[in-house]
Amino acid sequence: MSGLVGARTAAGTVPQTIAELEEAFVRVHALWLRSPGGGQWPFAGDGPWHLAQGEVGDIKGDWSETLVETDSGKVMQVRKVDSRAPRTPLEAREVDERDRVTTWLGLVGDQQLRKAIWLASEALHRGDNGPGGRVPWSGIARWIGWARTPNALKGRYRLALGEVLCALNGWPSRRARELAAG
């Protein structure tokens, strides 16, 4: 048996369905965003995006345009930086949950599928394409360099989640196909 048998989520239970596991992966994105370091993916392998600079005159961050009247009566349009609410620090149990759920990605053997699971759960977290979100499988397939169709990626995604569930619960791996089909 694996050392991950009995791995608990924030609610204190082992995920029993693909929907519960997917929800745990979606929740972990909010925890990574509140983490020190800006919520950058710990598995990033591409360029140093934190070094990218905007064009001269750009304002980094959120801003809005507003009209301001000077002392001489002149009205000018200016950009005003909108400050975001400060991030609340993570509690110890949230750090534990974030790290535990993130390690579940390591149970997926294929690196492309690990990236697909992370990107799909991120899309669900952001709520892309309407309320509740819909995963942009074509975009994810292009992003990770998937050679087959986006529908094949969606099927492999569900199968990979089923394999993670089997590993977490100590179930036989043959049950992953049944979980993915359901």
Instruction: Give the list of residues 6+ apart from residue 96 with CB closer than 8 angstroms, or none.
Output: none
- Domain assignment present for residue 63? The answer is no
* Tens digits of residue pLDDT in 57-84: 455 556 667 778 888 888 888 776 666 6
DSSP secondary-structure letter at 174? T
Q: How far is CA 75 from CA 63, 70, 82, in A?
A: 19, 6, 21
**Where in the sequence is the domain holding 31, given as residue range(s)?**
18-42+87-181
Tally of domains within the chain: 1
Give a yes or no: residue 177 inside a domain. yes
Residue 91 in any domain: the answer is: yes
Residues of the chain with pLDDT under 50: 1-3, 5-6, 10-11, 53-57
Q: Is residue 167 part of a domain?
A: yes
